[in-house]
Structure 1
Amino acid sequence: MAANTMAAALAASLPAPQAAPAPATPSYEAIPASMAKVIDTEGEIPIKNIQLDGLVVSKIIKHGRDMASASSSVPAYGLLLGLDLDGTLEVSNCFAMPNSSDEDERTGKAAARYQSAMLRSLKEVQSDDSIVGFYQSTTLGAFFSQTLVDSLAAQRDRLRRGGVVVVHARGNAAFRAFRLTPSFIDAYKRKKFNTQSLIQHRLTFSSILEEVPLVIRTNALMNALIGTFTEATQEPYEDPAGSVIPTLAVPQSSLPPSFSGLDLEPPSYISSNLERIGEGLDDYKTEENNVSYLLRQITRERARADAYVQKRREENAARISAGLAPLPEEDVSRLFKIPAEPSRLDSMLLLGQLDSHAKTLENLASSQLVKTFASRV
C-alpha cells in the first residue's frame, strides 16, 4: 500500500507529458528535367565503363611511386570517390589510406577514423565524398589476394554499385578496373568453396573477377601541360668555332631523352619475377598437400562410418531372423566427427597470382628478345 502511495506521489511530481512534435516533412532538391534521365537515383542502370579523371591518375601514380621508393612491400591502397551517371562510373577524386605492414589494419579502428575524417573534410569543402571503390598498386602484375577479395565483398554490401578496384602496375601507367562476378559473390555469401560449389558456380581463378572498361579523361589544363612537355623548341645551333647560326635550329624537348629502351642488359625485375613464380609454386604445392591431407582424413572417417552402419545393419538382420527386436539406429555424425571439405579459395587465388606473374614474364621476356635480336641485325 505504501509503495503504491509513493509511486503515485512521484508520478504527480513529474511534469505532464507533452505530445511529441510531428516530424517535419523532408524536402528534397528537385532534380532538373535535363538531368532526370541521366542520374540513376534508383540504381537500376548497370555500370558499363569507368572514367578516371586525370587528377586521380596522377595521384595514384605518385602514391605508387612513393611506396616503391620507400622499398615497401605493402601495395599502395586508397579509396575512389565519384558518381555514377548513365552507366558510367565517373571517378573524380581519391585519397590514400594509411600504410601498414599488417593487412588487417585496413579494417581496423584507426583506418576507419582516418577515413571518416577525410570524408568529413571533403564534404566541408564541397568536394565529392561518395565512395565508389578503391585502388591498389601491384608489383610485377600480381594483385590476387584474400584482402582484395574481402574488400570488394565488403563494399559489395555497403555501396549501391558494389564497388570496383582499379589496379595500377608500378613502373608504368597501366590501369585496369575489376569487380567481383555474380557467381563468385553467390559462393562467397554461402562461404562454400568446395568441389561441388566450384562445379555448380563454374568457378576458376579467371572467373573470380571481371574486367570493366576504363577510360581516362583529362581537362584542358592538363592537356596544355602535357603539350608543353612534348612540344619541341627550336634552339640556335652553335658550331665548335663558337659562331651561332640562327638559321640552323635544333629541336629540343622539355622532357629529357630516355635511352632505357636501348639497354640490352636483362632488367633485374625479370629475375625477381622468376623468384616470385618459384615462391608461388612452392606455396601452391604446400596448399595442395594440406588439402590432400584433409581429404584423406575425410575419406578415412567416412569409411569408418560406413563400416559401422553396415555392421549395425548386419546385426539387425541377424536379430530379426532370430526373432529379436532390432537395435535402434544411431546418429553416425555424433559417433564419427567427419570434417568438412576444405575450401579451395586459397588455391584459386594462388593460381591467379601465378597466372599474373607468368603473363608479366611473357611480356618482359618478349620485349627483351626483340631488343636482343634487333641488336644482332
Structure 2
Amino acid sequence: MTTRGQSRRIPETESRIDYVQTDGLAVMKMVKHCHEESTSNMEVAQGALLGLVVNNRLEITNCFPFPKNDETMDEEEYQLAMMRRLRRVNVDHFHVGWYQSADVGNFLSHPLLESQFHYQTSIEESVVVIYDTAKSARGFLTLKAYRLTPQAIQMYKEGEFTPDALRTLKIGYESLFVEVPIVIKNSNLTNIMMSELEEMIPEEEGTKYLDLGTATVLENQLRCLMDRVDELNQEAIKFNRHQHLVIRQQQDKNRLMQKRAQENAARAAKDEAPLPDDDINKLLRPLPVPPRLNPMIVAGQINTYSQHISQFCSQSLAKLYITQSLQNAKESKSTN
C-alpha cells in the first residue's frame, strides 16, 4: 500500500461528481435498515449503493444492506449474488458506493476512512452516504454524501501518518473529506401520494413548530464532545511526552559525543586510533514517532460536534425567545 519511493506530488484531479441524486425508494430502504439496527442492537448499519453516473451526476437508484457478522456467509459473495439477482430483474446493479448509519453525527473513524479509500481507488465516482439516526428521529432528516480528497487518498497510499508526512501533504481534519450535495428525487406518483398524505395529517399535528425536541440531541452531543476533548487531551499528552523523550535523548547523545571527543583527543595524544561513534548511535536509536492520524480524526469529530451544537443552540434559542414572548402575551392577557 505504501509508495515511499515515489514522489509526494498530489494528483490535481478534481471530482467528476457535482452532486448526488437519490431516489426516494433508496432513501426509505436506508432509513428503514439504519433505524432497525439502531433500535434492535445499537449496531452500525452498512449497505451498498447501486446506480449509475450520468455526466456530472451520480444517481443512486437502489441499495441493499450488508450481512451481519456471519461466518457461514462471505460478504463479497453475498454482494455479487445480490447484484446478479438485481440485474436479472432489470434493476441498476452498478456499485457506486456505500452507506452507513451514524449516531449523534459520530461517523469519522479509521474503518470509514479505510473503507472509502478502497472504494474510491477501485470505483472513482463512489461516495459514502451518512445517515444520522438520532437527529432524524427528532424530525431533522440528515443525509449527507462524502468523498475523500486527493490529499487523503495520497496519505493512505503512502501509509505514513507522522507529523512531517502530514505537514508535507498539507492535510488536516478539515481536508479529509469533501461533502457532495445530495438531492432526493421522487416520481410523479410519489409526489401525488405525499400531497394526499399531507392533507390527511391532523391540523394540530403539523403545527408543533416550537417543539423543543432538540434538547435530548443537544445533551448527547455535548456528552460526546466532552469525551472527544478528553481523548484529544490524552493524545496531546502522549505527543508531549514523546517530545520530552526526544529532547532528553538528544541531550544524552550530545553528552556522550562530547565525552567520546575528549577520549579521542586523549588517544590522539598517545598516537592511538580514535574510537568510532557507531556504538553511540546503536545505543541511542531514534524513538518511533507516534502516528497522528487518530488525533486528526478526533479533532474532526470535535469540529463536527461543535458545528451541530452551534446549529442546535441557535434553533433552540430562537424557539425559547418566541415562546417567552407568547407566554408573556398570554399572562398579560389573563391579568387584564
Q: Who is 1:248 aligned against?
A: none
Deviation, structure 1 residue 253: 4.2
Moved more, 293-302 or 277-286: 293-302
Aligned ranges 1:70-85 → 2 under 5 Å:
70=40, 72-85=41-54
Check if 1:212 corresponds to 2:176.
no
Deviation, structure 1 residue 112: 3.0
Equivalent residue for 2:37, pick from 67, 73, 88 = 67
Q: Distance in 2 between matches of 1:217 and 1:370?
A: 31
Equivalent residue for 1:87, pick from 56, 79, 94 = 56
Is the CA contact (8 Å cut-off) linking 2:47 and 2:64 kept in structure 1? yes
Is the CA contact (8 Å cut-off) linking 1:81 and 1:133 kept in structure 2? yes
Aligned ranges 1:75-154 → 2 under 5 Å:
75-99=44-68, 110-154=74-118
Amino acid at match of 2:278: E
Is the CA contact (8 Å cut-off) linking 1:228 and 1:254 kept in structure 2? no
Check if 1:344 corresponds to 2:313.
no
Equivalent residue for 1:298, pick from 233, 246, 266 = 246
Give the superposed CA RMSD: 2.9
Amino acid at match of 1:142: N
Check if 1:284 corresponds to 2:252.
no
Moved more, 334-343 or 307-316: 307-316
Q: Distance in 1 between matches of 2:203 and 2:85?
A: 36
- Name structure 2 gaps, 5 residues minimum: 1-12, 326-336
Is the CA contact (8 Å cut-off) linking 1:53 and 1:91 kept in structure 2? yes
Equivalent residue for 2:167, pick from 173, 189, 199 = 199
Deviation, structure 1 residue 137: 2.0
Check if 1:176 corresponds to 2:144.
yes
Check if 1:263 corresponds to 2:211.
yes
Structure 1, residues 180-226: CA drift from partner, whole Å, max 9, x if none?
Answer: 11112212222222221222122221111111222222222222222
Q: For residues 84 and 267 of structure 1, do their structure 2 counterparts lie closer, same or farther at Cα, with a shift above 3 Å needed?
A: same
Is the CA contact (8 Å cut-off) linking 1:45 and 1:87 kept in structure 2? no
Check if 1:159 corresponds to 2:159.
no
Structure 1, residues 273-320: CA drift from partner, whole Å, max 9, x if none?
Answer: 221112112222222223333333333334333433443344334433
Deviation, structure 1 residue 363: 1.8
Q: Distance in 2 between matches of 1:45 and 1:183?
A: 13
Amino acid at match of 1:227: S
Q: Distance in 2 between matches of 1:310 and 1:224?
A: 86
Q: For residues 154 and 308 of structure 1, do their structure 2 counterparts lie closer, same or farther at Cα, with a shift above 3 Å needed?
A: farther
Amino acid at match of 2:299: L
Aligned ranges 1:345-364 → 2 under 5 Å:
345-364=293-312
Is the CA contact (8 Å cut-off) linking 2:210 and 2:323 kept in structure 1? no
Name whichever structure is richer in helix by fraction: 2
Structure 1, residues 342-370: CA drift from partner, whole Å, max 9, x if none?
Answer: 11111111111112112222222222211
Deviation, structure 1 residue 151: 0.6
Bigger Cα Rg = 1
Name the SS of the counterpart of 1:46 in structure 2.
coil
Q: Name the TM-score, length of structure 1 as normaliser.
A: 0.73
Is the CA contact (8 Å cut-off) linking 1:229 and 1:255 kept in structure 2? no
Q: For residues 332 and 212 of structure 1, do their structure 2 counterparts lie closer, same or farther at Cα, with a shift above 3 Å needed?
A: farther
Q: Distance in 2 between matches of 1:255 and 1:77?
A: 37
- Identical aligned residues as a percent: 30
Structure 1, residues 87-137: CA drift from partner, whole Å, max 9, x if none?
Answer: 22221111111346xxxx89x974334323322322333322221111122
- Name structure 1 gaps, 5 residues minimum: 1-42, 233-251
Name the SS of the counterpart of 2:278 in structure 1.
coil
Aligned pair count reads: 308
Deviation, structure 1 residue 260: 4.5
Q: For residues 45 and 273 of structure 1, do their structure 2 counterparts lie closer, same or farther at Cα, with a shift above 3 Å needed?
A: closer
Q: Name the TM-score, length of structure 2 as normaliser.
A: 0.81
Amino acid at match of 2:26: V
Equivalent residue for 1:327, pick from 275, 278, 282 = 275
Is the CA contact (8 Å cut-off) linking 1:302 and 1:338 kept in structure 2? no
